[in-house]
Structure formats: structure tokens, C-alpha cells
Amino acid sequence: MTHNAPGVSQAFGLFLAEAPRHAKAWMGAVDELAAATSLDPKTAHLVYLAVLAALRLESGVPFHTGLAKRAGASRDEVVSAILAGLPAAGNAVTQVLPAALAAYDQA
């Protein structure tokens, strides 16, 4: 992954550029975890968006929304994934909706 990949936050891009050994180790773990899942790619990306929303990690939402869309997720599925955390995490999950919808419409 390069630091200028679409949707990558400035902070993560800086991490990739300035700490390449750490980034390589991190991305290796990410790749291994992705390979271990039993979820199909679209579902895995939607679940990831739900977690980002619940944790209010808005900076990762544009990148992961693009991945979800490329995996076949509809705009409504992205919205539903983000709002899936409403009962457990509360309405704070709605804070990432603008970033997700803008990224989806641009992807």
C-alpha cells in the first residue's frame, strides 16, 4: 500500500512513509488476519466499517468505504453497516456517515 492510495488518511500515510518497517509488520498482520476470516470480502469490509463507526475512527472510513464498494457493497449496505452499532454504541456512529457517503459517491 502506498501513502497516496485513495482514501488513506494523512496520519496513516505518514505512518507508511516514515515508519516503513513498522508499516510492513503491521500490514503483514492485517493480511494474515484477512486471510484467516471465513467472511466473504464484502461482508468483511462492511463489518470493518461498523467497527470503525462504533470506535469513532472516522479517518479510516473513506478508505474502507472504497474497499466495501469495490467488493460489491451498495450505498444502503454501507449505511446499514455503520448504523448497525446504534443499539450498542449509540448515535455517535452517525458521526462517520458524512465521510462514508462522500467516499462512496466519489469511489
SS3 42: helix
pLDDT in tens, 39-48: 999 999 999 9
pLDDT in tens, 2-27: 455 777 888 888 999 999 999 999 99
Q: What is the pTM of this model?
A: 0.84
Q: Are 32 and 46 in contact (CB under 8 A)?
A: no
Other CB atoms within 10 A of residue 3 CB:
15
